[in-house]
Structure 1
Amino acid sequence: MAEADLHDLDAFVAVARARSFRGAATLRGVSASALSTALRRLEGQLGVRLLNRTTRSVTPTEAGQRLLDRLGPAFGEIAGALDAVASLGDQPSGTLRLNVPSIVARHVLPAIAARFLIAHPAITLEVTTNDSFIDVLAAGFDAGIRYDERIERDMIAVPLGPRIQRFIAAGAPSYLARRGVPATPRALVDHACIRHRFASGVILPWEFSHQGQVLRIAPNGPLVSTSIDISIAAAIAGLGLIYTFEEYLRAPLARGELVAVLADWGQSFSGPFVYFPSRRQMPAPLRAFIDFLKDDARTPPSPRA
């Protein structure tokens, strides 16, 4: 049986996750050459190539991916055990790595993160924005934040932020004056619509509900974008109707740059959840965050002055 140094295995995990020797070196505070030496030593001991290296990319081989899939949870357990011991001190400490969608990063998490870090000054929070659903543990994160329909049933899910959110449709006054106001979602087939493409390449239909009736529309229009900022700018310019999270549109609606339409057909859904796999040893920063969320949800908002 091949024996490998834990430091070399840790170096492999860091490089394989970062897909870069330089990126992994920056995160670990070591030199890229030291990581390269560790990888060569590990591959020599195992007798198999673990990473494909080119001048532009570093990717795991089939053997490397199998090893990463096994080592990711194992190193998570080790980190959790160390954090559990560290948490016996006065303050939980360490790094909490979260993977969150854009809407949460922009409109839900900022205030929560600020309150959490004030309450736990010994914890460092690392937030990565990603609109795809991923295996958070294999990717090196402690937890992810997603909406209920995207969370696997074997995950633990804890509510975060508003418990009800909704999509609303809107258009610029100039567009509505030129093309008219749609009376029902079915009328959208005769309108220009600004659509969103997810990182996976999927363009979802627009879903509306009213008095138990659900309609799904696949509209067309002049713009398809992965950027919500470009989509909102296009809607304000009068290029078409937009349908997205209410939080994204509050400011232009308040300024009169956009006008809500199909108000009776808006789609409501449950707010986001923090999700993570069950562990025997939960990392202390994640435990502190989950406990904070539960306490925060029970705390009534401060009265306005």
Structure 2
Amino acid sequence: MAADLGDLAAFVAVAEAGGFRDGARASGLSASGLSEAVRRLEHRLGVRLLNRTTRSVAPTEAGQRLLERLTPALGEVEAALDVVNGFRDRPAGTLRLNVPVSAARLVLPAIVPPFLAAYPDIRLDVIAEDSFVDVLAAGCDAGIRYDERLEQDMIAVPIGPREQRFATAAAPAYLDRHGRPEHPRALLDHACIGGRFASGAALAWEFERDGEVVRVDPSGPLVVRVGTASDLAVDAAVAGVGIITLFEDWLRPHLDSGALEPVLEPWWPRFSGPFLYYSGRRYLPAPLRAFVDFIGRQRRSP
């Protein structure tokens, strides 16, 4: 009972994405084409693989069993076909990266344009989100994360700045009205713009000076989703709503223009920069190998 490899891949794309439209976006195919491929596969196998409702698409028990076996098998097929890339003058294919919003904004802009110029046959697919995901299970080749969130069995390659700082700032007009805090604990008497992760956990405000670490839990009129809504927080701070803490590089244009004024700068904490990470337990696709090599050359260049 042979099945077309394209139909099998279409089923996996839809099942992993949880819908035909999302599967189409992930695979680059049309939703109608995916629907037809899944119907063809179900007819050939004589069993329903997906339960379809107006709101969602989910594998049946038979579909789930098939998905569990197909996903690694199709990965091996993809790796086998990628071997041919080694015989090309230039690597080709799609490189899928899962990165935090901060990396998409602060790290990748200096890397992506020259990388795509050097490898015009590679298509880069970047998913920016701040929830911690299994990059392989999410269908990505690699991810960018900070060291405290790296998995132990992953290979990590430094990417971007090797040291960063969190900066605290506010609009000069706000500070003229409410005063300029001289110690982190004074923030408890100020309106602060808070952040919340996708998990629901609040972003802690941490400061450090001469070995002294101070953690505060300030409150204020606005709380935003870390990463995806950080621009709203910045705009609110510029408008004088309150005090903000964020990556220094994110706030730097506003600090340089004077729209924001540094607050407690001697207390700004430093932390190590991000890493590109990927699994060392499987064959490295040519687009990912090209990206890893490019990052290494970029770091070695003056």
Aligned residue in 1 for 2:241: 239
Aligned residue in 1 for 2:176: 177
When residues 276 and 175 of structure 1 are mapped into structure 2, their CA distance, relative to the original with a 3 A threshold, is same
Contact 1:11 1:35 in 2 (8 A): yes
Offset, 1:63: 5.9
TM-score by length of 1: 0.89
Cα distance in 2 between the residues matched to 1:251 and 1:289:
29
Cα distance in 1 between the residues matched to 2:144 and 2:255:
27
When residues 31 and 113 of structure 1 are mapped into structure 2, their CA distance, relative to the original with a 3 A threshold, is closer
The correspondence of residues 158-177 of structure 1 with structure 2, limited to 5 A, is: 158-177=157-176
When residues 244 and 68 of structure 1 are mapped into structure 2, their CA distance, relative to the original with a 3 A threshold, is farther
Aligned residue in 2 for 1:298: 300
Offset, 1:298: 0.3
When residues 47 and 139 of structure 1 are mapped into structure 2, their CA distance, relative to the original with a 3 A threshold, is farther
Offset, 1:238: 1.3
Cα distance in 2 between the residues matched to 1:126 and 1:148:
23
SS of residue paired to 2:231: helix
Aligned residue in 1 for 2:274: 272
> Which 5+ residue runs of structure 1 have no aligned equivalent?
301-305
When residues 231 and 138 of structure 1 are mapped into structure 2, their CA distance, relative to the original with a 3 A threshold, is same
Q: After the TM superposition, which of the residue ranges 266-275 and 10-19 deviates more from structure 2?
A: 10-19
Cα distance in 1 between the residues matched to 2:76 and 2:281:
7
Contact 1:83 1:285 in 2 (8 A): no
Contact 1:206 1:243 in 2 (8 A): yes
Offset, 1:46: 6.4
Aligned residue in 2 for 1:56: 55
2:114 is the counterpart of 1:115: yes
2:9 is the counterpart of 1:10: yes
Residue deviations 1:204-256, cap 9 Å, x none?
Answer: 21111222222221110000012111101111111111001001111111111
Aligned residue in 2 for 1:155: 154
TM-score by length of 2: 0.90
Cα distance in 1 between the residues matched to 2:7 and 2:290:
30
Residue deviations 1:25-64, cap 9 Å, x none?
Answer: 4554555344334334545676765433222322345664
SS of residue paired to 1:82: helix
Aligned residue in 2 for 1:75: 74
Offset, 1:187: 1.3
Identity rate, percent = 61
Offset, 1:275: 1.1
The correspondence of residues 120-159 of structure 1 with structure 2, limited to 5 A, is: 120-159=119-158
Offset, 1:172: 1.0
Residue deviations 1:81-110, cap 9 Å, x none?
Answer: 222222221111111111111111112101
Contact 1:13 1:72 in 2 (8 A): yes
Aligned residue in 1 for 2:263: 261
> Which 5+ residue runs of structure 2 have no aligned equivalent?
none
Cα distance in 1 between the residues matched to 2:236 and 2:74:
46
Q: After the TM superposition, which of the residue ranges 201-210 and 15-24 deviates more from structure 2?
A: 15-24
SS of residue paired to 1:114: helix
Offset, 1:132: 1.1
CA-based RMSD of the aligned residues comes to 2.3
SS of residue paired to 1:264: helix
When residues 78 and 258 of structure 1 are mapped into structure 2, their CA distance, relative to the original with a 3 A threshold, is same
Q: Which residue of 278, 287, 290 maps to 2:289?
A: 287
Cα distance in 1 between the residues matched to 2:80 and 2:131:
29
When residues 50 and 156 of structure 1 are mapped into structure 2, their CA distance, relative to the original with a 3 A threshold, is farther
Q: After the TM superposition, which of the residue ranges 2-11 and 72-81 deviates more from structure 2?
A: 2-11
Cα distance in 2 between the residues matched to 1:87 and 1:126:
21
SS of residue paired to 1:221: coil
